[in-house]
Amino acid sequence: MELIKNEKTESNKYELQFKLDRAAFDDACTRVYNREKGKINVPGFRRGKAPRAIIEKMYGKGVFYEDALNELIPENYEEAVKEAGIEIVGQPEIDVVSIEDDGVVIKAVTFVVPEVKIEGYRGIAATKTTYTVTDEEVDHEIGHVREHNAREIDVTDRPAEEGDTANIDYEGFCDGVAFEGGKGEGHDLKLGSGSFIPGFEEQVAGHNVGDEFDVNVTFPEKYHAAELAGKEAVFKCKLNAIKHDELPELDDEFAKDVSEFDTFEEYREDMKKKIGERKEKAADAEVEEQLIDYLVAHIEADIPAPMYDAEAENIVRDYDMRLRSQGLDLSTYMKYTNQTLDTLREQVRPQAERQVKTRLALTEIAKEEDIKVEDDAVEAEYTRMAEMYSMDVENVKSAIAKEDIAADLRLKAAVDLVKSAAVITEKAPEEKPAETEKTDSPAE
């Protein structure tokens, strides 16, 4: 490959021209002929036996040119880009300038990473929320663990009460006529959960296993099924079983069962510490978002659209991978949500633009501050990723290039630098407004 032209045509656009060796081009044409000759039908010859000259005479001398160029151009284009010393963005526009005895001249027009200017990244003003951990929050967290470790027992010696799970059969009637969607068998209903329309669960409470009874309710005026909205209804019910969650005692034995601690007080203190760490991490993330907001708003760069396009594709691809990990895929998701790839790309476009601007700004800061990443840091990151994904370190290394790891670490170091240089003012958390009363829920 010979680079014969390297010219900047616009602020973020380059034109490259490079020459392919004629002998290499001819060899590629021969490989294409040998690969494709069995697919070409030439009268008078068995399939695959027609000489190359006959095929070229019949279909044109350039019959094998396109496939040969597709084979040669990618690798030679990479070499041309490397020799030109440019950082490309997106796919190039490729044209064949000439095919002569001394070689094949290719023209590639490509976008490049733009020049970036970012000022004022030292001393950015930000506010950090100072959170405290209350006893109520600790009790709430421990309560979740306690509920998770509850033992479900059958209740046979008393009526159902709030907090129980009642297994019921039911069928609803309006004006004596059963209505669609109003029948269920063997349904587990948590009494007090509010999952059925108002008044239903309260009338199940007080009944014993085996009881058959009526539940009289009025559908909400804003009920989702318009034909039932505001109407009175009678549900014929039978209580099949009652179950109750028996919560474990909050004592030392509980602590031993759910943690590595021997006493409940030690477990409680550790829970408080973890909540505090979680809040501190969230507060730091809020500060980081403010700093990124500043960088995105103050970056000066003529960013080519292909950078945003490529980032949007990356986001869509990552989303597809997350869906697949949950047993879905992108095509199924779009079918259910009545979307197309284009509408999904449009939705993620603002996120893509923010991520591109952030990366460009941080890259420029790392350059300005001469941030370097040592080999030891790269190795430590490989080890961390291997542990996180339960993979062998060598497999991680084969999947992710060292240069990419180093680039990510430089960006993280740039974020840390901006954060350490920021002027951060602490503030108390804002009081949340009182929750408004929820509208009536559907029957289920």
Ordered mean pLDDT values, 10 residues apiece, the chain (444 residues): 88 91 92 86 82 86 90 92 89 91 92 92 94 94 93 92 94 91 92 90 94 94 84 94 93 94 96 95 94 95 91 90 83 82 90 95 95 93 90 90 92 94 90 48 40
- Flag whether 195 is in a domain: yes
Instruction: Find residue 105's DSSP bridge partners.
Output: 19, 98
Residue 441 is predicted with a pLDDT of 36
Q: Encoding tokens for residue 362?
A: 């941080």
Q: Which of 159, 160, 233, 234 is nearest to 201 (CA)?
A: 160
- Flag whether 18 is in a domain: yes
Q: Domain with 232 in it: what CATH number?
A: 3.10.50.40
- Flag whether 444 is in a domain: no
Q: How far apart are the first and last CA of the chain?
A: 70
Residue 433 is predicted with a pLDDT of 56
Q: Are 63 and 155 in a shared domain? A: no
- The SS3 call for residue 112 is strand
CA trace torsion 285, 287, 289, 291 (10° rounding): -140
Residue 444 is predicted with a pLDDT of 43
Residue 42 is predicted with a pLDDT of 82
Residue 430 is predicted with a pLDDT of 77
Q: Are 26 and 85 in a shared domain? A: yes
Q: Domain with 108 in it: what CATH number?
A: 3.30.70.1050
Cα–Cα distance for residue pair 337/345, rounded to 1 Å? 14
Domain end among 212, 246, 280: 246
Q: Which of 66, 13, 7, 43 is nearest to 305 (CA)?
A: 13
- pTM of the prediction? 0.69
Q: Are 102 and 156 in a shared domain? A: no
Q: Are 10 and 68 in a shared domain? A: yes
Q: Are 100 and 165 in a shared domain? A: no
- Flag whether 73 is in a domain: yes
Domain end among 88, 112, 136: 112
- Flag whether 292 is in a domain: no
- Flag whether 328 is in a domain: no
* Structural domains of the chain, count: 2
Residue 440 is predicted with a pLDDT of 40
Q: Are 102 and 157 in a shared domain? A: no
Residue 428 is predicted with a pLDDT of 86
Residue 432 is predicted with a pLDDT of 61
Q: Are 82 and 173 in a shared domain? A: no
**Domain span at 14:** 2-112
Instruction: Find residue 211's DSSP bridge partners.
Output: none
Domain end among 112, 129, 160: 112
- Flag whether 217 is in a domain: yes
Q: Encoding tokens for residue 156?
A: 């046979």
Residue 443 is predicted with a pLDDT of 43
- Flag whether 378 is in a domain: no
Q: Are 15 and 95 in a shared domain? A: yes
